[in-house]
Chain A
Amino acid sequence: MSQAAVKIQQASPLLSVNNIEVVYDEVIQVLRGVSLDVPEGEVVTLLGPNGAGKSTTLKAISGLLKTEDGEVTRGDITFMGERIDKKNAEDVVRSGIFQVMEGRRIIEDMTSIENLKLGAYTRNDAQINQDIEMVFHYFPRLKERTGLAGYLSGGEQQMLAIGRALMARPKMICLDEPSMGLSPLLVKEVFGIIEKINKDQGITMLLVEQNANYALKAADYGYIMESGKIVLDGTQEQLLSNEDVKEFYLGGGNEERKSFKNLKSYKRRKRWL
């Protein structure tokens, strides 16, 4: 962990987002100056309440913003030293960033294997079948489900979505709320696999989550967003031990706090915004 912190200062990060502003439909400003760095080989998480702009940040990175009439109006995004904020979604995929969209979004009227093959759409090598086996190695239960992907359970669909991302052999995967709608046990399983993939394959992960508890445990570094801005960032330990984070995202807080009277919401307003 501390090694990771050192690495952030040393080398230039794999992905760096510099002070971006995003406007939808030319009028609705969603992001007001977001900056974040994702160092190579690490898991970075982006936390925050609903509507904070987490998904928008991911879409700005992956280029999918343009499919929703959104635009990066200020700032820039660089990936491996190359600007990607003006690129199309399909070109961003080719440069090595793969986004697993919120709500899994697998192709329901195709089988699991067809979905996985589609993940490898940008590749032209002959090792695609090998990689399908690799995905089945991480998610053995997908192998047993040969029917249409639309009939898979929520957890299996999430696994398929992550597996599909692996098929592209990306340098970085952006995961948008992988825990959405999953039972606690499945959330644990999915996060376990995310960490395992990160360790085995060295794929960098940018993880947007509501489930701060699991996300922070899996991540090396975290950012917290509110109303289109980053309000706090720090390493895993820093965030896990931060009183405000504990209170607002992890549940619990000060040991002595026993009643609502002691809630410190006013303090957050002062300090974060």
Chain B
Amino acid sequence: MNFELLIQLIVNGLIVGLLYGVIGMCFVLVYKSTQIVNFAQGEFLLVGAWVCWASLIYLELPFFLGFILSLCFMAAFGVLLQMIVLRPMIGEPIISVIMVTIGLSIFFQALMKWIFGVSPQSYPQVFDTQSINIFGLNIEMAYLMSTIIALIIMVAFYLFFKHSKHGLAMRATAFDQQVAQSLGISVKQVFAMSWGIAATVSATAGVVIGMVNGVSDSLSIMGIKVFPAVILGGLDSIVGAIVGGITIGVLENLAEFFDSQYLHIGNMYDIAPFYVLLIILWFKPYGLFGTKDIERI
């Protein structure tokens, strides 16, 4: 058994898993506050990564400036998307709204191909050193940065939902929209805000992944890959999304390890999470952390 490879893969799994967790959190955020299953989640990553790439290449901005600019763009993008496309859908059957998000997904994938072409592009060199050595493990700088960013985002989410007025308002809206309105909360504003936050945070993940793998269509697949993570954790639990994300990240790397060492089936890395998804839906349809209503006895 190749322990070095195993540990390296587990560490990779943790790092990727944290990113899945972040993307999953965005997914859960939108689902929780607006009850929309957002199939265009992956396109947030794609659009964000392309916008950042364009700002670096065409506008020739320094990386962090371009990064922040594209986050601002994505915040506006998310809010406008909600206001223009999804607000008129409020009160329509859930299946129609889901079809709209699938439509958005196809539209933005095509739009990005039309604007930026089909070939993958890579970001200009951001760090001087490509990778560093921690405890004998080879970790790419971009991965290290992604881990730090993911952790910052998670702490920010926690503080936002625990202490800020708008975070509390979003939780209240998720719990009961009528009650939220009776408290003076504008539900429309909360909806727009949750899409804005989801788009911005997803774009961060998109840029980070783009730095490692290059910007291409495959970013939008992250939106689908995050499904097993979110369903494992329970669709409406933010903590669940993080736990689910890390689990799936580690799991796919373990699957890759056993496949490459023993099974030789091939492509387990991509497939394993969906087997897990299937099994979870059999036994725990609401996921590990799905809503349990408080019942007073």
Contacts and interface: CB of A to CB of B under 8 A. Distances in A.
Contact of B182 (A101, A114, A150): A101
Contacts of B183: 93, 118-119, 121-122, 164, 168
Interface string B168-191: 110110011111011111100000
B172 A64 contact: no
Interface residues of A, number: 31
A148 B294 contact: yes
A63 to B, nearest CB: 8
A62 B182 contact: yes
A151 interface: yes
A108 B177 contact: no
A109 B175 contact: yes
A88 B294 CA distance: 30
Interface in A108-155: 108-110, 114, 117-119, 121-122, 148, 150-151, 153-154
Instruction: Give the dominant DSSP class at B's interface.
Output: helix
A133 to B, nearest CB: 18
Given A93-B184, A118-B172, A105 B296 contact: no
A94 interface: yes
Contacts of B296: 150-151, 153-154
Contacts of B182: 62, 64, 89, 93, 98-99, 101, 105
B203 to A, nearest CB: 28
Give the interface size bracket for B toward A. Answer: 10 to 19
B183 to A, nearest CB: 5
Interface string B75-110: 000000000000000000000000000000000000
Given A64-B181, A101-B182, A105-B176, A117 B294 contact: no
A90 interface: yes
Contacts of B185: 90, 118, 121
Contacts of A150: 294, 296
A64 B178 contact: yes
B287 to A, nearest CB: 16
Contact of A109 (B179, B181, B184, B294): B294
Interface of A: 62-64, 67-68, 88-90, 93-94, 98-99, 101, 105, 107-110, 114, 117-119, 121-122, 148, 150-151, 153-154, 164, 168
